[in-house]
Structure 1
Amino acid sequence: MPEPYILVLSGAGLLVALVAWLPLALRQLPLSLPIVCILIGAGLFSLPVIPFDVSPRSWPEVTERLTEFVVIIALMGAGLKLDRPFEWRRWGVTWRLLGITMPLGIAAITLLGYALGLGLIAALLLAASLAPTDPVLAADVQVGPPRTGEEDEVRFGLTSEAGLNDGLAFPFVHLALAIALSQTNGEPWLVKWLSFNVAWEIVGGIAGGWLVGRLFGWLTFHIPAKTQLAKTGDGLIAIAATLLSYGITEMLHCYGFLSVFVTALTLRAAHRDHEFNEQMHDLTEQIERLAMMGLLLLFGGALVGGLLSPLTLPDIFFVLLVLLVVRPATGLIGLWGFNASVSEKLAIAFFGIRGVGSLYYLAYALKRSDFPFPDRLWAIIGLAVLVSILLHGLTVTPVMRWLDRSHGRDPDTGHPVNH
């Protein structure tokens, strides 16, 4: 029997090979990389030679930190690949999804969770965790790499929404925490929540992200010397900007997720057409895919280890309602009157992918306060992520290719078809 260390090295080599090859192999198939990762993870952890418990309930600290890392890397990648300049009117689809769709979704999911018998606080936490779409698992519905022109309204809307709503859902996680704490110590929570968790943490996150982005933009593209960071050709600069932006903002008790995405947008705006943007994006994407695959292998292991065992039949109906009714309905309400075709609105409303961000929010909250039904909450979130990966992963390739063709674009390049 080989040493465990040798087995780990061999497995890591196989994982890296799959990271490089699978996206190419799955490009035209109705199958996604996350689905394959979960299947591999479920198979591996079903083997008797790997008797490890990888349930998030057993490893709360590891779950929180691993999901946190994957999300911030994905947020940097999402911000770097957006070609569209940040302008209020040109980002109209984003503001509708953030300002209308997400709050309506949180309200609807809270009511449904309360109807499940979870209680108001647990239902609110569930809603805050499930409301934001995911920047990690939504690669197939996002815009292409920088300067490729693959940026139609559907892909732009879903990319920008996933980039910003992770940070903007955090106040509602803190709202659930604040109410839970108030029930324990009797202290008032509303003023502190509005002034600190909403106003300060959002404004501070945006400001911190902008300052770090401006600094890195100057050092990378505009410093008057031969030592511009862009001349290194090393995409690790994007990782440095990610970690500094997140770390500094979190030390100031502001929303780091929001800060990282704003840093990415500001860094890209410093020299929008420079080829170094592609190098930064490419390295970020590689690290994101590697971290995502490792996380989803563990998620597959958690599934076969009994993560979903506390589920009840109403819980399953709840998850299906959230994904098949609540998100599409609130998405279409948010896009009412928006200048886009019906097919584009339907695609944006449907592809509200839930994923790693939901896992992070639940891990974050359960570590900081006692909520009722923690195992059931993990089971519901786990099922929502699994169903979203399967549902959206199996439909995204045919739907997006059909959408490209119907709008006169080549589905393989995203460029207009010449007739």
Structure 2
Amino acid sequence: MTGAAVYLILGLSLLLATVLPHVTRRVALSPPIVLVGVGLAIGLLPMADDVSLQPEDNRELITHVAEFTVLVSLMGVGLAIDRMLDLRSWRSWRSWSSVWRMLLVAMPLTILGTMLLGWWVAGLAPAVALLLGAVLAPTDPVLASDVQVGEPLTDDVDRPDDGDGPEEDDDIRFSLTAEAGLNDGLAFPFVHLALLLLAGGFGLAEAGTWLGWYLVGKIAIGLAVGLAAGWLLGRQAFHVRNEDLRLANAGEPLLAVAALLASYGAAELVGGYGFLAVFACAMRLRASDRGNAYHRAMHGVVERLERLMTLLVLLVLGMAMTRGLLEHLDWRGVVVALALVLVVRPVAGYLALAVLARDEQEEGGLDRGEIAAVAFFGVRGVGSVFYLGYAVTHEQVPDEPWLWSTVAFTIIVSVILHGVTATPAMSRLDARRKATPAAG
């Protein structure tokens, strides 16, 4: 493929990605579905014959591209969430009830269910089956925009209370977005557990190391670094005494990109989980002056970068599907993918939210329809690509080609199914929510 052809394809694809959100807003067809389809078509062109898109040939590149894409989405998610989390307020913690339930109950159940499928249906070794479960556990609402929160609601914009858009602090979108922001980092301990098992010789010492370091220590360090970085950058942006040095006054939105790179790098250098650090940094930065319009400027930059990276990943994923990515997919992978998307995640999510459910009249409470929506819309995406790439670059993983095919197929199934159903489902829930006060 010549350089000119690459530029032409990327330019036209970027134009398409810019137009698609406006064209597909009222129809049951998400931009990611179209972008994957474009990638499929590009992969069939003769000029793509000289490009190897086999994951085994591009492990490092795939891992780093997916890693950066996830980092950008985490910063955008953290800046967009309007619901404050005050670490000193029990009421604030309870308002995040649905998120904690999805992280502490639904996510482990999803990993366990997928692991059992991998072991029982696909015949994988227990360590590989655990890796499959951990890889497919993170959710990614970026690939179904109707189920994520929108841009930050700051003091310079009117709240959308006129019936033309979703309500502020929508519990469904908030739950799915905050879940995705945190579970991208919380899947890492289980990836490491699978790698420790693959390395062999897993005994009490290794179990203690995993519990104390990979499960507790690295999470705590990542969160601490992220909160510290967000506080420092928030002081610089909004509260430094010299007004000439206040970045919010200058309106320079690239602080968001600097923040995600610095917090991630700092956390990784000291051994913490960088994904958690980026999300915590974004949340703390947003809390520094929650209503300031500067947050919308930063979110706008991150959103555009996120759109560009997602475009790249989806195009390459579509191209790879027609260049042999799915050649190792068999009935076992199809069963695992469909069972995860249609059964394991919905059941795990519903159990997590419905058992001893929080009163739907309280902040953070969900009614039965909302619980079903949060449980169902667990979109699989770029995070799964990163975790599998990370695993295969750090350890020899049996059945690697089959894993790549199965993970890719699962993402495609999720993008199509959730992309088609998100718009009508969320429209019905929005309409019902707005009609409820009138009915009362």
**Superposed pair shares fold, TM > 0.5:** yes
In the superposition, the TM-score normalised over structure 2's length comes to 0.90
Cα distance, 1:98–1:187 mapped onto 2, change above 3 Å: closer
**Equivalent residue for 2:389, pick from 340, 346, 363:** 363
In the TM superposition, what are the counterparts of 1:85-234 in structure 2 within 5 Å?
85-86=84-85, 87-115=92-120, 116-147=122-153, 150-183=168-201, 188-226=205-243, 227-234=245-252
1:14 and 2:19 are equivalent in the alignment = no
1:287 and 2:310 are equivalent in the alignment = no
CA contact (8 A) 1:136 1:356 kept: no
For residue 261 of structure 2, what is the aligned residue in structure 1?
243
Stretch of structure 1 that moved more, 343-352 or 218-227:
218-227
CA contact (8 A) 1:75 1:135 kept: no
- Structure 2 distance, partners of 1:146, 1:187, is 47
Stretch of structure 1 that moved more, 239-248 or 139-148:
139-148
CA contact (8 A) 1:315 1:380 kept: yes
Amino acid at match of 1:350: F
- Structure 1 distance, partners of 2:23, 2:319, is 24
In the TM superposition, what are the counterparts of 1:324-363 in structure 2 within 5 Å?
324-336=342-354, 337-338=357-358, 339=360, 340-363=366-389
Could you list the per-position Cα deviations for residues 177-216 of structure 1 after superposition, in whole angstroms to 9, with x for gaps in the alignment?
Answer: 1111134x98941111112111211000000000110011
In the superposition, the TM-score normalised over structure 1's length comes to 0.94
CA RMSD of aligned residues (A): 1.9
Percent identical among aligned pairs is 42
**Equivalent residue for 2:418, pick from 386, 389, 392:** 392
Could you list the per-position Cα deviations for residues 211-259 of structure 1 after superposition, in whole angstroms to 9, with x for gaps in the alignment?
Answer: 1100110011111122201122122110110000111111112100000
1:320 and 2:329 are equivalent in the alignment = no
Aligned residue pairs, count: 411
Report the secondary structure of 1:249's partner residue. Answer: helix
- Structure 2 distance, partners of 1:142, 1:238, is 19
Amino acid at match of 1:54: L
- Structure 1 distance, partners of 2:267, 2:141, is 20
CA contact (8 A) 2:144 2:415 kept: no
CA contact (8 A) 1:128 1:169 kept: yes
1:273 and 2:291 are equivalent in the alignment = yes
- Structure 1 distance, partners of 2:144, 2:183, is 13
For residue 413 of structure 1, what is the aligned residue in structure 2?
none
For residue 89 of structure 2, what is the aligned residue in structure 1?
none
Where do 5+ consecutive residues of structure 1 fail to align? Answer: 411-415
CA contact (8 A) 1:30 1:395 kept: yes
1:307 and 2:325 are equivalent in the alignment = yes
- Structure 2 distance, partners of 1:260, 1:104, is 25
CA contact (8 A) 2:53 2:325 kept: no
Amino acid at match of 1:368: H
- The offset of 1:311, in angstroms, is 1.7
Cα distance, 1:284–1:173 mapped onto 2, change above 3 Å: same
Could you list the per-position Cα deviations for residues 30-66 of structure 1 after superposition, in whole angstroms to 9, with x for gaps in the alignment?
Answer: 1111111111111111101121121222200010000
- The offset of 1:21, in angstroms, is 1.5
- The offset of 1:109, in angstroms, is 1.1
Report the secondary structure of 2:267's partner residue. Answer: helix
Could you list the per-position Cα deviations for residues 161-183 of structure 1 after superposition, in whole angstroms to 9, with x for gaps in the alignment?
Answer: 00001101100000001111134
Where do 5+ consecutive residues of structure 2 fail to align? Answer: 86-91, 154-158, 160-166, 361-365
- Structure 2 distance, partners of 1:200, 1:221, is 31
Amino acid at match of 2:256: A
- Structure 2 distance, partners of 1:231, 1:125, is 47
CA contact (8 A) 1:40 1:297 kept: yes
- Structure 1 distance, partners of 2:283, 2:439, is 32
- The offset of 1:366, in angstroms, is 0.8
- The offset of 1:19, in angstroms, is 2.9
- The offset of 1:372, in angstroms, is 1.3
- Structure 1 distance, partners of 2:367, 2:204, is 50
